[in-house]
Amino acid sequence: MAPHSAPDSSRRSERSRVAILTAARELVTELGYTRLTIEAIAARAGVGKQTIYRWWPSKGAVVFDSILTLSEGPDGEGVELPDTGDLEADLKTVLRATAAEFADPAFEAPIRALNTEIINDPALAETYREKLERPMTEAKKRRLRSAKRAGQLAADADLDLVLDLLYAPLTQRWLLRSGPLDEAFADALVEATLRAFGR
Partner DNA sequence: GCATAACCGAGACGGTACGTCCAGTCTTTCT
Partner DNA sequence: AGAAAGACTGGACGTACCGTCTCGGTTATGC
Residues that bind a copy of itself (CB under 8 A): 32-34, 112, 115-116, 118-120, 122, 125-126, 128-129, 133, 158, 160-161, 164-165, 167-169, 171-173, 175-179, 185, 188-189, 192-193, 195-197
Q: Would you count residue 25 as binding DNA (CB under 7 A)?
A: no
Residue choice 30, 53, 97, 182 for contact with DNA (CB under 7 A): 53
> How many C-beta atoms surround the C-beta of residue 113 within 10 A?
24
What is the footprint of DNA within residues 118-147 (CB under 7 A)? none
Candidates 45, 46, 64, 68; CA nearest to 56 is 64
Smallest distance, a copy of itself to C-beta of residue 100, A: 19
What separation in angstroms does the CA of 150 have from each of 19, 89, 96, 144, 154? Answer: 47, 14, 23, 10, 10
CA–CA separation, 76 vs 3, rounded Å?
Answer: 11
Smallest distance, DNA to C-beta of residue 43, A: 7
Residue choice 21, 23, 27, 47 for contact with DNA (CB under 7 A): 47
Q: Which stretch binds DNA (CB under 7 A): 52-60, 63-71, 92-100, 164-172?
A: 52-60
Per-position DSSP letters for 18-40, written without gaps between them: HHHHHHHHHHHHHH-TTT--HHH
Candidates 131, 155, 118, 151; CA nearest to 79 is 131
Smallest distance, a copy of itself to C-beta of residue 17, A: 24
The answer to whether 157 and 197 have CB atoms below 8 angstroms apart is yes
Q: Would you count residue 16 as binding DNA (CB under 7 A)?
A: yes
CA–CA separation, 120 vs 108, rounded Å?
Answer: 19
Write the binding mask 156 to 185 for DNA: x where contact by CB under 7 A, - elsewhere: ------------------------------
The answer to whether 55 and 8 have CB atoms below 8 angstroms apart is yes
Q: Would you count residue 54 as binding DNA (CB under 7 A)?
A: yes
CA–CA separation, 130 vs 127, rounded Å?
Answer: 5
Q: Would you count residue 34 as binding DNA (CB under 7 A)?
A: no
Interface with DNA by CB under 7 A: which residues? 9-13, 15-17, 19, 35, 37-40, 45-51, 53-55, 58-59
